[in-house]
Amino acid sequence: MARPDKAAAVAELAEQFRSSNAAVLTEYRGLTVAQLKTLRRSLGENAQYAVVKNTLTKIAANEAGISTLDDLFNGPTAVAFVTGDPVESAKGLRDFAKDNPNLVIKGGVLDGKALSADEIKKLADLESREVLLSKLAGAFKGKQSQAAQLFQALPSKLVRTVDALRAKQAEQGGAE
């Protein structure tokens, strides 16, 4: 029979896995409490970084339908649960790991798909969601502007052609 406190911890972790867009597992061996506090701040507002027990977290992940992380639950493990933009949190982890080699990114999961440590680093190289959306909006605006210019050019070209025909007819009519 599981102890009530462990069952509650598993239920809480399973809910965090279900409600998160992404979860990144790290090894934090050798980091001080002050460094962990700095890491939590660098992840952004939409991420929660928690030191976890491997066995309980593995059970919780399986309850949440995530079995791809089972091999990563060894050694001291902490999980970054991301509810917002995963790129911002991945950048925070990558940048912190550059300055603090004791932080090791093991892997993670993004929208149910397993990610390796290298894939998380590639995710960190992406631009943020807002930047990508603004680039997309700019591209749409550019295409709309080109279409508007094209639609304006057709009637004005038609008017110039009709005027040229009138002028030509007037010349031919006056020459006769």
pLDDT(164) > 80: yes
The band of 21, judged by pLDDT with boundaries at 50, 70 and 90, is confident
User: Does 176 score more than 70 pLDDT?
Assistant: no
Q: Is the pLDDT of residue 112 over 60?
A: yes
pLDDT confidence band for 94 (50 / 70 / 90): confident
- Residue pair 49/39 in contact (Cβ under 8 Å)? The answer is yes
Q: Are 103 and 27 in contact (CB under 8 A)?
A: yes
pTM, two decimals, is 0.67
Average pLDDT over residues 32-41: 88
pLDDT at residue 121 above 70? yes
Q: Is the dihedral of CA 27, 33, 34, 36 positive or negative?
A: positive
Identify the CA nearest to 20 among candidates 69, 78, 61. Answer: 61
Give the Cα separation of 5 and 11 in Å (integer).
10
Confidence of residue 154 (pLDDT cuts 50, 70, 90): confident
For the segment 60-89, the average pLDDT, to the nearest whole number, is 85
Distances (CA, A) of 147 to 6, 25, 144, 150, 155: 62, 48, 5, 5, 13
Within 10 A of 90 (CB to CB), how many other CB atoms are there? 28
Is the pLDDT assigned to residue 130 strictly greater than 80? no
Average pLDDT over residues 132-160: 78
- In this prediction, residues 154-175 reach a mean pLDDT of 81
Q: Find the mean pLDDT for residues 159-170.
A: 86
Q: Which of the four pLDDT bands, split at 50, 70 and 90, describes residue 1?
A: very low
Mean pLDDT in the chain? 83
